Structure 1
Amino acid sequence: MFSIMIFIFILYCHSSYMTGKLLLKLESTKFIIANHSRENFPFLEEYRCVRSRTNFYYILGCLVFMEDGPVKFRSFMEPLLQVAVNLEASADAAFRTDVVKYAFTGLMRDLRGIAMATNSRRTYGLLFDWLYPSRMPLLLRAISLLTDEPEVTTPLLKFMSEFVLNKA
């Protein structure tokens, strides 16, 4: 499955809008967009591949934003919403555990990739509406509890930088 993602990445980077639209018609692309979880992409759980998450979600974000409609975007964001809900339900003491820190930094890297893919008011608005105000308390809580953890604060600040300085 990872080789399919590399293939899509190569095609997308060297292609036009129409090629992207054609990619969206492929069953493998539809599967990837609908099932972009750790179960289907084990590299998302590997710490050594953590930087690849941003690129992965940038590509997926570009493809999702080619399609019109907030319904597609919301269904695409559902796995990320589940991660956010689980993190919000975590106790303050649990935020210091490696499992919670890794889940949070992964979420920040994923969201940064999606933020990088926003290229219009419409796409930025979809992400903004998903994030604000409902997810912002999670970000504030994480930065408050983990100020001394650069492996958490750096992805969070990079995401916020991409989100607020986005030129879309």
Structure 2
Amino acid sequence: MRVLIAAITASATLCATAAFAEGDADKGAKDYNRCKACHAIEGPDGFIVKGGKTGPNLYGIVGRTAGSLDGYAYKPSIVAAGEAGLVWTPELIAQYVVDTSGFLEDYLDDPKAKSGMSKQALREPSNVAAFLALHGAKADATAEGTGEGADENTGEGAGDITVENSGEDSAQTP
């Protein structure tokens, strides 16, 4: 029975991954304007997208353990999720942004778990997740053709990806 459940879970995960992987990063760049009120994307060579400091820097969020960016004061529930093994993927980011506290309640099996971020009304959260997946050490290494990543939390050793910034501000996201 456990093997059957594991097979069904793996199959569902693969299907969900394929669906979220189809997010449109170009549309996500526009949707990210809502996020930059609270979040910046700052790589090792400077800002990719300037933004607020209410939320953590989202450079390298994909592949990062939740609640682990040095120098940011996370809420206890997101740190607990990271300690329980939560590592951000585009799929999980897309799920998280639409109901941040609900996501943590489910992940931690704790009805008192709370996020410091408000949930977002995004038509396609997978688009923002696809956009964020472009900005980090692993994405930079792939873009450079090296296949080697840099430190996920600091971005050390990573290259640049240039993104146009329209300068519009709105509500926060991831």
Q: What TM-score do you get using the length of structure 1 for normalisation?
A: 0.26
- Greater strand proportion: 2
- Greater helix proportion: 1
Work out which structure has the larger RCO, using CA pairs closer than 8 Å and 6 or more positions apart in sequence.
Answer: 2
Q: What TM-score do you get using the length of structure 2 for normalisation?
A: 0.25
